[in-house]
């Protein structure tokens, strides 16, 4: 059976109970594949920072602003997109979001000035804003009740794409130059084709719903906790995201610079080690989702944030071998947090899957962007090593997990 036939077949399979039917599992894997393509193209932007810095004579603060242009654009639009699609699902918006990423890549490949680079980064961020909330909703719809596994599989695709970006940059973009980014437009077009097929499956599922429930099928007002407790819990989750994403920004945007500055590595070798770090993020994300379904979200959050502290504190003082080893451990531990945070938030606000996904994906991008900009400015006035001394204490915010209430697991929550 072809990929398109498999996705289309999902229209007849109900995602109910604890198992994930084969047809809907194919939808999750297809979403994960498109997430891989989407984030692989997006990760080319930070991966070529050393190239842009050298070609345009940029400061670390200007590098941080490129990251901010991409990530803040994504963070500002994602909650709005999620809120709108909770009440007005848009099955084919997934392909449209990939189209925005395509336009951003084409512009980035032809950019000859710093403002145009910023504009291209913003277009790529807009693609993320459209893609992530609705894709997260479809993954939940196809999960068969295994929400943590579905979200982690979806997220693993994105992490794998993020990990692949530096590898492609090292072997394609760095040797061939900035204009070689245009070659990745074919990948974006492939993603649009697959996402169009997923949109057809999603539209078929919606057409099969009872007429009265179709418009607001996902919306429920039955909150599991008082509003005040929910507000406190959301604030704690945002604090955990701040800890995770600002530290992740220090690694994603400046790890190559740190390796080059501290250990005198060549750019390509540093990008290969960034790929190793991001590969560890993929494994940690998958394990976090699987474990969260079995032991609960709160224990995973405790471990994934606070558990990284001893390793982040030691990292700035290590030699090359232990720096790489500890960065892998940090990546795996911290990456396990996101699926747990997202699914826990969706359980706090049932029926608002798109809005919650938009807020938390948006905060991830926004906090990462603000962190990258601030850390870049710090590196300019001090040194790149200082960034890692300061960020080492961020996992202490994991202590805020103590304020999260335990939620009773539900047999089935609205998608």
Q: What is the pLDDT of residues 338-385, one digit of tens each?
A: 778 877 887 887 767 767 777 777 666 667 667 777 888 888 899 889
Could you tell me if residue 5 is inside a domain?
Answer: no
What CATH number is attached to the domain comprising 386?
Answer: 1.20.1250.20
- Domain membership flag for residue 9: no
Helix (H, G, I), strand (E, B) or coil at 224: coil
Distance of CA 58 to the CA centre of its chain: 26
Q: Please check whether residue 2 lies inside any domain of the structure.
A: no
Cα 404 to Cα 415: distance, rounded to the nearest angstrom: 23
Give me 295's structure tokens: 């032991």
Give this prediction's pTM.
0.66
Q: What is the mean pLDDT of the chain?
A: 79
Q: How far apart are CA 343 and CA 115, in angstroms?
A: 38
DSSP state at residue 407: P
- Provide the token pair at 130: 């459209």
Q: What digits encode the pLDDT tens for the residues 275-309?
A: 888 888 888 887 877 777 677 778 888 888 888 99
Give domain status of residue 408, yes or no: no
Q: In whole angstroms, how large is the CA radius of gyration of the chain?
A: 20
Q: Which of 272, 209, 247 is nearest to 375 (CA)?
A: 247
Residue 211: the pLDDT is: 54
Residue span of the structural domain in which 195 resides: 17-206+219-403
Identify the three-state secondary structure at position 211. helix
Q: Evaluate whether residue 413 is within a structural domain.
A: no
| pLDDT, position 5 | 41
Closest CA to 162 of 68, 59, 249: 249
Confidence (pLDDT) at 289: 72
Q: Is residue 214 part of a domain?
A: no
Q: Which residues of 315-344 are buried (b: 16+ CB within 10 A; e: fewer)?
A: bbeeeeeebeebbbbbbbbbbbbbbbbbbb
Our count of domains for the chain comes to: 1
Q: Which is higher by pLDDT, 145 or 195?
A: 195
Confidence of residue 209 (pLDDT cuts 50, 70, 90): low
Residue 310 in domain? yes
For the segment 105-152, what is each residue's pLDDT rounded down to a tens digit?
899 888 889 999 999 989 988 888 888 888 888 888 887 777 777 878
In a domain, 51, yes or no: yes
């Amino acid at each position: 059976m072809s990929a398109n036939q498999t996705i289309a077949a999902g229209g007849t399979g109900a995602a109910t109970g604890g198992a994930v039917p084969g047809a809907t599992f194919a939808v999750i894997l297809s979403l994960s594949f498109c997430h891989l393509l989407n984030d692989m193209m997006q990760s080319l932007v930070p991966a070529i920072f050393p190239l842009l810095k050298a070609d345009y004579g940029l400061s670390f603060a200007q590098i941080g602003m490129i990251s901010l242009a991409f990530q803040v654009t994504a963070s500002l639009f994602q909650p709005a997109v999620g809120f709108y699609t909770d009440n007005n699902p848009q099955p084919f918006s997934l392909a449209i979001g990939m189209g925005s990423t395509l336009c951003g890549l084409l512009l980035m490949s032809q950019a000859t000035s710093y403002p145009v680079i910023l504009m291209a980064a913003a277009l790529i961020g807009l693609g993320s804003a459209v893609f992530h909330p609705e894709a997260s909703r479809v993954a939940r719809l196809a999960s068969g009740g295994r929400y943590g596994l579905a979200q982690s599989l979806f997220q693993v695709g994105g992490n794998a794409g993020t990990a692949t970006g530096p590898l492609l940059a090292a072997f394609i973009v760095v040797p061939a130059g900035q204009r070689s980014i245009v070659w990745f437009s074919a990948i974006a077009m492939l993603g649009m084709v697959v996402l169009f097929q997923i949109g057809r499956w999603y539209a078929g599922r919606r057409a099969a719903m009872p007429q009265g429930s179709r418009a607001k099928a996902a919306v429920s007002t039955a909150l599991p906790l008082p509003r005040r407790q929910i507000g406190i819990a959301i604030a704690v989750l945002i604090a955990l995201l701040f800890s995770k994403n600002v530290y992740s920004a220090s690694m994603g945007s400046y790890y190559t610079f740190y390796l080059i500055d501290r250990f005198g590595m060549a750019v390509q070798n540093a990008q290969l080690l960034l790929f190793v770090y991001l590969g560890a993020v993929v494994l940690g994300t998958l394990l976090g989702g699987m474990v969260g379904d079995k032991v609960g979200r709160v224990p995973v959050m405790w471990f994934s944030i606070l558990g990284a502290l001893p390793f982040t504190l030691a990292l700035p003082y290590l030699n090359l071998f232990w720096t790489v080893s500890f960065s892998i451990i940090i990546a795996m531990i911290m990456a396990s947090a996101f699926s747990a945070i997202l699914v826990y938030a969706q359980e706090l606000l049932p029926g608002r899957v798109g809005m919650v996904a938009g807020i938390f994906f948006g905060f991830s991008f926004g906090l990462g962007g603000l962190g990258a900009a601030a850390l870049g400015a710090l590196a300019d006035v001090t040194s790149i090593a200082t960034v890692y001394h300061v960020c080492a204490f961020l996992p202490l915010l994991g202590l805020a997990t103590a304020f999260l209430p335990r939620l009773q697991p539900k047999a089935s929550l609205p998608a």
